[in-house]
Structure 1
Amino acid sequence: MLLMDERRERILEKLVSTGSVHVSELAKEFSVTYETIRKDLAHLEEQGYLVKSHGGATLKQNAIENPFTVRERENIDDKQAVARRAIELIPEGSSLIIATGSTILELAKLLSLKSGLKIFTDSLPVAVALIKSDNQVFFFGGELRDQSSSVCGGWTVSQIRQVKVDLCFIGTDGFANLDGPTSPSSSDAFIDQVIIEHSERRYVLADRSKFRRKSLYRICGWDQIDTLVTNEGVDAQDLEALRGKTEVSLV
């Protein structure tokens, strides 16, 4: 049986992945009583993570920045499909910045099989994925940031401003309001803004779930993005509205 803190962390991960949980299902999964699960949900509600409902709970919108280790497991098939399309957009011999994000990491894994590129990144997982590739890889320095497994701060910004690359790829926590890609972190949003400014072509990679989600900080407007790469199967009205703002490539 899991310890209390471990169980609550697992409940939170499930809530992040699905958006809602049910007391009966959690009690069965963790082999505990309904009352134990209700206490877990009450604790998580006090922490500001969720809103209790009849028989369960729902994730509180914009309440948390999901840990990178949680995000990288979500919608993995969709993310890999987006990454496969994104790699087709990279000409041979290009210079590019790969920002932070779980879909971006899937692109980095594919890029590790390529050669002859100049790749810059602020993401630790991306750097690790590329470390043995036949590309020239540069890692921006700065203050380490646990939630996004990346770097941030003035040092990072000053290094990004020393380059001007052919293209960049950034991730997003969502864009349900369609005003632009968003991030749960003000520091990550600012780093992405600087990356966009120092790239000739700008791409956002996002699986289809991001049409239903948004976060606190807008990274930029869609007029600053050349193409959004996402999955088919999104709401037709949302897709049409977005196509009025930027190019959309569906996979």
Structure 2
Amino acid sequence: MKQEKRQEIILYAVMRSGYVSIDSLAEELGVSSQTIRRDLAVMDRQGMLERRPGGASYRTTILNSSYEKRQVEDLKDKERIARAIAEYIPDNCSIFLTLGTTTEVIANALLCRSGLMIITNNTVAALTLNKKSDFEVVLTSGYMRKSSHGLVGESTIDFVNGFQCDYLITSTGGINESDGCLVDFHTADVSVAQAMMRHSGKVLLAVSPDKFGRHAVIRFAPMKSVDMLFTCEPIPARLSELAETSGVNIVTC
């Protein structure tokens, strides 16, 4: 099969499913995984799709991949980052925790700590954290978004404004490679996270490698608003320079 025809099939599969793995494409097309990797690299450079760990997703700046797909994507990377954050967080402190599948993994890792008070709009994370008898878990008000099981809205922001926490633990949809700005996909989610950021002593950002240079339509916060960035691979040189200039401490786990 010619490369042009193969890439046409790959693009259709990505558009149909949102995300496809290298192994499934190799099996469907009867070629090696290395051939698929080369095709995805070319198609990513041409802007046809977005390479992701283990596969590729449809390139868009206005829609994130589905919640179910994000729950399983990059899970090992998220677990490594989560363990590093849990090791850094001290016992007996207060934490804001935002929405996201990454923060859900972090919630599970935090169970190794003691005496935490967590204020969150993430219902999935709240249920995990509530297993610990010495944790005080505070769930915000708001209306629940079906796509993320998270609480958002003006009442959520008003609720958050009534607290001041030692830490904010958050993730982001992407980081703009030109200026280091954190970007995301949903205004309602971002508005709550920004309120938490304003009332936090220190901001901890969890970033899996696929978020570096990823585009999204909503500008969340400048790089300088982050105190510590946790990731599991060296970050691109341009972003590393921006982080250093902004006073961000990078932790590679």
Note if contact 2:18-2:57 (Cα within 8 Å) is conserved in structure 1. no
Q: Give the superposition deviation at 1:106.
A: 1.1
Note if contact 1:113-1:133 (Cα within 8 Å) is conserved in structure 2. no
Structure 2: how far apart are the matches of 1:9 and 1:127? 33
Change (3 A) 1:175 1:116: same
The answer to whether residue 242 in structure 2 is matched with residue 241 in structure 1 is yes
Hey, what does 1:92 align to over in structure 2?
91
Hey, what does 1:184 align to over in structure 2?
185
Hey, what does 1:116 align to over in structure 2?
115
Hey, what does 2:44 align to over in structure 1?
none
Hey, what does 1:171 align to over in structure 2?
171
Hey, what does 1:136 align to over in structure 2?
136
Q: Deviations over 1:82-123 (max 9, x none)?
A: 111111221111011111112111110012343211111100
The amino acid that maps onto 2:110 is L
Q: Deviations over 1:2-49 (max 9, x none)?
A: xxxxxx89952424x77xx96x85577xxxxxxxxxxxxxxxxxxxxx
Identity of matched residues, %: 22
Hey, what does 1:250 align to over in structure 2?
252
Structure 2: how far apart are the matches of 1:229 and 1:27? 37
Hey, what does 1:72 align to over in structure 2?
71
Between Structure 1 and Structure 2, how many residues are aligned?
Answer: 217
Q: Deviations over 1:224-251 (max 9, x none)?
A: 1111111224333432333222221111
The answer to whether residue 81 in structure 2 is matched with residue 82 in structure 1 is yes
Hey, what does 2:38 align to over in structure 1?
none
Q: Deviations over 1:122-168 (max 9, x none)?
A: 00110121121121111011011122221110110111001001111
Change (3 A) 1:25 1:64: farther
Of 141-150 and 194-203, more deviation after overlay is shown by 141-150
Structure 2: how far apart are the matches of 1:58 and 1:195? 30
Hey, what does 2:102 align to over in structure 1?
103
Query: What is the TM-score of this pair, normalised by structure 2?
Result: 0.76
The amino acid that maps onto 1:157 is I
Q: What runs of 5+ residues in structure 1 fail to find an aligned partner? A: 1-7, 29-49
Change (3 A) 1:51 1:63: farther
Change (3 A) 1:143 1:209: same
Q: Give the superposition deviation at 1:64.
A: 1.6
The amino acid that maps onto 1:198 is H
Structure 2: how far apart are the matches of 1:51 and 1:148? 27
Q: How does 1:43-58 map to 2 (within 5 A)?
A: none
Runs of 4+ in structure 1 off by over 4 angstroms are 8-11, 24-28
